[in-house]
Amino acid sequence: MNIRKTAITIGVLSLTVGTGLYISSATEKNIDTKAEIKAKTDSQEALARKKVEELNSKVASGEEKVLSQSAVFPDVNKEEAFQEADIVIKGKVESINKEYMENTDIPFTDFNFNVEEYWKSDLKEEENNSIKQLVVTQDGNSELNFNEHPLMEVNKEYILFLKRVLNNNNEEKLIMIAGPNGKFNLNENFIDQSIDTQSVNGETADEFIEDSSQGEVNEPIAEIITK
């Protein structure tokens, strides 16, 4: 597999609040606010895009070298992520739904994610008990992924803190909050991170979520029974 080497990728990736690329669905109700955010970010993005193009051109010509594939993700702790999340789930990746680019050079992957437990949800109660699969979006794809936020793997189990956002086409997405700060690998129901930014390795799923909710949640609000 050929991994495309890019010096830098512009745009803010998984955020806890709206950005130029993904605007929180809460702002959809306020058109003036949405337009103001977009106008402000458009000029910043144009300047950033010019700098990126210049740098990538130098990389292609050999004037500059790529040291690593990385992105700057917001520094969000587990308590903040839980508070900000619309949905917190435990489950397993069934398959890749699709890979794509936003704004020509910002990579994303949509995964089909089988839900085992809902720990927090903005869905109706009956939906929590009936919706067994969600499409979940992660920064990166098979051609361009980020060192600090490796792509989820099929048949692997995770806890995800998810936020509803809108993409450029006003399509709603469920994306991980602050990239790696919203995705936690599970191994036999224990947190097992390859990059443990929050010192949570070794906690059980239940302990981790109870700590993240600051003691407010100690059991799932819904469990999906699979036959």
* Per-residue confidence (pLDDT) for residue 225, from 0 to 100: 74
pLDDT band at 195 (very low <50, low <70, confident <90, very high): low
Q: What is the mean pLDDT of the chain?
A: 76
Q: Which domain holds residue 133?
A: 6-227
Record the tokens describing residue 11, joined without a space. 């745009």
Phi, psi (5° rounding) for residue 38? Answer: -65, -45
If one counts the domains in the chain, the total is 1
- Write out the E strands in the chain: 23-24, 87-102, 106-120, 133-139, 157-166, 172-176, 183-187, 190-191, 222-223
Write a three-state SS string for 21-55.
CCEEHHHHHCHHHHHHHHHHHHHHHHHHHHHHHHH
- 181 falls within a domain: yes
* Per-residue confidence (pLDDT) for residue 58, from 0 to 100: 58
CA 204 – CA 200 distance, rounded (Å): 9
- 169 falls within a domain: yes
CA 88 – CA 76 distance, rounded (Å): 15
* Per-residue confidence (pLDDT) for residue 75, from 0 to 100: 78
pLDDT band at 174 (very low <50, low <70, confident <90, very high): very high
* Per-residue confidence (pLDDT) for residue 82, from 0 to 100: 94
Look at the pTM and tell me if it is higher than 0.75: no
- 202 falls within a domain: yes
Return the number of other C-beta atoms located less than 10 Å from residue 103's C-beta. 13
Give the residue with greater pLDDT, 113 vs 5: 113
The answer for residues whose C-beta is within 8 angstroms of residue 171's C-beta and 6 or more apart is none
* Per-residue confidence (pLDDT) for residue 47, from 0 to 100: 55
**Which of the residue ranges 9-23, 84-98, 114-128 would you say has the lowest mean pLDDT?**
9-23
* Per-residue confidence (pLDDT) for residue 33, from 0 to 100: 45
CA 61 – CA 58 distance, rounded (Å): 5
- 189 falls within a domain: yes
Residue pair 107/39 in contact (Cβ under 8 Å)? The answer is no
pLDDT band at 170 (very low <50, low <70, confident <90, very high): confident
Indicate which CATH number applies to the domain containing 140.
2.40.50.120
Give the residue with greater pLDDT, 3 vs 81: 81
Q: Is the pLDDT of residue 212 over 90?
A: yes
* Per-residue confidence (pLDDT) for residue 219, from 0 to 100: 93
Q: Is the pLDDT of residue 163 over 90?
A: yes
- 1 falls within a domain: no
Burial 112-133 (b: 16+ CB within 10 A, else e): ebbbbbbbbbebeeeebeeeee
Between strands 172-176 and 87-102, the pairing is unpaired
DSSP-assigned letter for residue 163: E
